[in-house]
């Protein structure tokens, strides 16, 4: 018998930083470090994020199943990171996170949303295209570990 999943969306706080490290490692993201996240979340109001907790417990490790981290600068919303635990992917969590980011960006007066994605990350590119993003440029050697170019993607809010 399949148990329906319940997702809970809430604001990302400094208490979530240890869980971010676990989620990012499992999702293949590069953890920015506790000090960086703490500074962003405590000192810079333009930075914000949300987390998703998924129940039942078999789809949950620690308090985080997914998160996004973003910033708003004038009329621009920039998605800096989004990640979902691999075992929780393809369940609508990424879409829920993106919709929360758009809503907060609009609340802050943003008109456009931007992000960068590895050129080799076909899964993420398909997801972002499904979110109405279009490729608008590229950044050479944007990523490290391994070094790779990035697509710049953009959409209206």
Please give the pLDDT value at position 63: 63
**Above 50 in pLDDT, residue 51?**
yes
Architecture of the CATH domain 111-157: 2-Layer Sandwich (3.30)
Query: Helix H segments across the chain?
Result: 17-27, 34-43, 93-107, 122-130
Percent with pLDDT over 70 in the chain: 91
* pLDDT over 80 (residue 9): yes
pLDDT in tens, 107-154: 999 999 999 999 999 999 999 999 999 999 999 999 988 899 999 999
In the CATH scheme, what is the homologous superfamily, with its name and number, of domain 1-67+81-107? Gcn5-related N-acetyltransferase (GNAT) (3.40.630.30)
- Domain range list for the chain: 1-67+81-107, 111-157
**pLDDT at residue 62 above 90?**
no
Distance, in Å, from the CA atom of 23 to the CA atom of 26, rounded to the nearest integer, reads 5
**pLDDT at residue 58 in the model:** 52
% of the chain with per-residue pLDDT over 90: 75
pLDDT at 1: 43
Confidence of residue 5 (pLDDT cuts 50, 70, 90): low
């Amino acid at each position: 018998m399949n148990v329906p999943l319940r997702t809970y969306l809430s604001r990302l706080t400094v208490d979530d930083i240890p869980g971010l490290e676990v989620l990012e490692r499992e999702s293949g993201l590069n953890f920015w470090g506790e000090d960086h996240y703490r500074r962003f979340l405590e000192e810079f109001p333009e930075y914000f994020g949300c987390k998703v907790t998924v129940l039942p417990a078999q789809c949950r490790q620690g308090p985080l199943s997914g998160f996004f981290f973003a910033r708003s600068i004038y009329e621009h919303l920039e998605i800096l990171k989004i990640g979902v635990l691999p075992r929780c992917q393809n369940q609508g969590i990424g879409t829920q996170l993106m919709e929360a980011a758009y809503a907060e960006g609009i609340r802050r007066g943003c008109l456009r949303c931007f992000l960068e994605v590895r050129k080799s990350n076909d899964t993420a590119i398909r997801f972002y295209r499904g979110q109405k993003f279009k490729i608008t440029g590229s950044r050479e050697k944007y990523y490290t570990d391994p070094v790779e170019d990035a697509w710049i993607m953009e959409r209206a809010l």
